Amino acid sequence: EVRLVESGGGLIQPGGSLRLSCAASGFTVSGNFMNWVRQAPGQGLEWVSITYTDGATYYSDSVKGRFTISRDNSKNLLSLQMNSLRADDTAVYYCARGPNADAWGQGTTVTVSS
Amino acid sequence: EIVLTQSPATLSLSPGERATLSCRASQIVNNYFAWYQQKPGQAPRLLIYDISNRAPGIPARFSGSGSGTHFTLTISSLEPEDFALYYCLQRNNWPWTFGQGTTVDIK
C-alpha cells in the first residue's frame, strides 16, 4: 500500500526555520518525482516545490531562496527545509507523489506567528 | 505564470444530476492537465490526469475532456459522495498552478 506521512509542522515565529519530513512507504522516493503542495487556511492549493528523479528541483517564486527540497533515499524520506518563515507561509503542507500527484499525505500544519 | 480560471465558483445540484465544471488556462497547456477532488479536512485526490485519463479507482461517472486552453470535468450522475471541492491543475509550465476551485454542493 502506498502511504505518505508528513511530520515536522508546528508554531514558529516569523524569521524562524522548520524542517518538514515526509515518510514514504509502498514505493521508493528515489524512483519518483516528489512534490510539496500547501494550502493556506480557507484557501486553494499552491504548488511549492518538486524534485525530479534526476535531482532537478523547482520552487515557486514565493519560496525560492528560502525553502529547499531534498530526499534521503536510504530512509525513503522527502524533506522540506523552510527558512526565513513569514506569516504568509502559514498553511497545511502536503507531500505528493509523481508528476500527477497521485498519492498524498494527510498534511502537516505550519503556523508562522509571533 | 499560467493562470487557471474555474467556473462556476459554486455549482448547486441534486444527486443524480449531471455536473459540468470548466477550467480555462491563460496559455496553452498541451496534455499536462489534471483534476482533483478535495473534501473538508482531507488531502486532495487525483481524479483525472493528462486531460482525460481516470486515475486508478476513480468511477467511470467522472470524465475529463478539452484541449489547448479549455478543459471540462463532467460527473455524469452525482452521487452523495461527489459533493466536494474540485481543482484543476496545469503542469505544462513551471510554476505548476491550480485553479481557484469549484464547489459542488447539494441543491
For the stretch B62-71, pLDDT in tens is: 999 999 999 9
- A97 CA: distance to closest CA in chain B (Å): 11
Residue B30, pLDDT above cutoff 90: no
Q: Report d(CA B19, CA B22) in Å as an integer.
A: 10
What residues contact residue A59 under an 8 Å CB cut-off, 6+ apart?
Answer: A48, A49, A65, A67, A69
B-chain CB neighbours of A45 within 8 Å are: 36, 38, 44, 87, 89, 98
Chain A, 25 to 84: residues with Cβ < 8 Å from chain B are 37, 44-47, 50, 58, 60-61
CB nearest to B97's CB, from A47, A99, A102: A47
- B99 CA: distance to closest CA in chain A (Å): 8
Residue B106, pLDDT above cutoff 90: yes
- Measured over the CA atoms of residue B64, residue B65, residue B71 and residue B77, the dihedral's sign is negative
Tens of pLDDT, residue by residue over B50-103, are 999 999 999 999 999 999 999 999 999 999 999 999 999 999 998 999 999 999
Whether B44 sits inside 8 A of A45 (CB atoms) is yes
Residue A72 three-state SS: strand
Q: Which residues pair with A3 in a beta bridge?
A: A25
The three three-digit cell numbers of residue A14, written as one number: 516569523
Tens of pLDDT, residue by residue over A6-51, are 999 999 999 999 999 999 999 999 999 999 999 999 999 999 999 9
- B98 CA: distance to closest CA in chain A (Å): 6
Whether B36 sits inside 8 A of A101 (CB atoms) is yes
